[in-house]
Structure 1
Amino acid sequence: MGNRRTYGPNREDPVKGYADTDMEFPRLLAFLLIVLEWTRPGLPSPLRPICDLRVLNHFIKEAQDAEAAMKSCRDGCSLSDSVTVPQTRVDFDVWEKKNALEQAQEVQSGLWLLQQALSLLRSSATNAALHSHIDNSIRNLLSLNAVLRSLNIQEYTPPASAAELEGTWTVSTAADLLQVYVNFLRGKVRLLLSDAQACHQDVS
């Protein structure tokens, strides 16, 4: 279980986030790189653009912005019910014993859980500024799923219920949810996308 944190009132307005064009740039960049490399002549398979982790780093930065907005949010920022989220702690001995498919499925199930949890937060919160950050976070999760498919990782089939998944826990506050979101991107998502096998590509 992660540490619970309670934040006191703040008289400043919530973080507003980036301009729309700035928020869309990394998603557009990832999409264009995927399309261009699929259509580029002379390459047997598409270049894997996420191996340049600047796109993921941008998503992490935006997740941290959402967490900062939550810290400064005073009203209309609560989670209406507890949600199931992925464990973010990485046991490297256990992780390295898993094959590529098992690692990918663990990350994909975590992304799915976070998308469900953030969607619930979106429906329960009423703060407009926080809505903007949540919408952006959900779009980023969808972009990450598209990137995983571009790496020839098979599409994930969600379970009928989150209770069927292992390696999960429950949080009851929006602050804890957004902290899990940041840590999951910085941990297991980065590990998967930095893997030498996933990123290997001969571009000579």
Structure 2
Amino acid sequence: MFHGSGLFALLLMVLEWTRPGLSSPLRPICDLRVLDHFIKEAWDAEAAMRACKDACSIATNFTAPLTRVDFDVWEAMNIEEQAQEVQSGLHVLNETISSLQASNQTDVLQSHIDASISNIASIRQVLRSLSIPEYVPPASGGEDKEMQNVSSISELFQVHINFLRGKVRLLLANAPVCHQGVS
């Protein structure tokens, strides 16, 4: 978790970017240090789950997005396809992590679950600021080939870390709005 002044500084940045009450569009959030904050919190959650072991275990499989990136395939995709893949993965992570809220967990796990859900919502806000299209579920309702099953909460949070470090970072780093006017 962020400590005192770091949390306050992040809050000020987010408030400045979102400017509540103003009708103007969000300013693009192109600074990858914002994503680094969310990655650090995901690391903290994963480390807490590893340390928690039996008290934080649930005997079930979780659905999670694939984190592997084939760079040739990724580069061949247009920004909308990349955005859809990232948004789909964030949606699955949010749904899976949210499903943990119903289980009777330790206070430590519950705080990491709540923080992760909040962080995913914040990442979606960052994506909106970059004019990245929101997630649109597939009309067919078929199983997404970009998913995997994981068997522990620790592994789920490891996927969360890798997804943020991989596909989310690639999308944010190459967002067209962040490169306008840059030659």
Determine the structure 1 residue equivalent to 2:64. 85
Change (3 A) 1:98 1:186: same
Determine the structure 1 residue equivalent to 2:50. 71
CA distance, structure 2, for counterparts of residue 102 and residue 170 of structure 1? 23
| Cα-Cα RMSD | 2.8
Whether 1:33 and 2:17 are equivalent positions in the alignment is: yes
Whether 1:168 and 2:147 are equivalent positions in the alignment is: yes
**How far off is 1:124 after superposition?**
2.3
Determine the structure 1 residue equivalent to 2:174. 195
1:12-40 CA distance string (max 9 Å, x none): xxxxx44587557535523422438x778
**How far off is 1:202 after superposition?**
3.8
Q: Percent identity of the aligned residues?
A: 51
Matched ranges for 1:1-204 at <5 A: 17-18=1-2, 22-23=6-7, 26=10, 29-35=13-19, 46-49=26-29, 51-159=30-138, 164-195=143-174, 197-202=176-181
Bigger Rg, structure 1 or 2: 1
8 A Cα contact 1:103 1:192, kept in partner: yes
**How far off is 1:175 after superposition?**
1.2
CA distance, structure 2, for counterparts of residue 81 and residue 160 of structure 1? 28
Question: What secondary structure does 2:27 align onto?
Answer: coil
8 A Cα contact 1:86 1:113, kept in partner: yes
Aligned residues: 181
Residue type of the alignment partner of 1:32:
E
Q: Which has the higher contact order (CA 8 A, sep 6+)?
A: 2
Gaps of 5+ in 2: none
Once superposed, which parts of structure 1, at least 4 consecutive aligned residues long, lie more than 6 Å away? none
8 A Cα contact 1:78 1:124, kept in partner: no
CA distance, structure 2, for counterparts of residue 104 and residue 30 of structure 1? 22
CA distance, structure 1, for counterparts of residue 157 and residue 98 of structure 2? 12
8 A Cα contact 2:63 2:96, kept in partner: yes
Change (3 A) 1:88 1:94: same
Change (3 A) 1:120 1:161: farther
CA distance, structure 2, for counterparts of residue 93 and residue 160 of structure 1? 27
**How far off is 1:157 after superposition?**
2.5
**How far off is 1:121 after superposition?**
2.3
8 A Cα contact 1:70 1:174, kept in partner: yes
Determine the structure 2 residue equivalent to 1:7. none
Gaps of 5+ in 1: 1-16
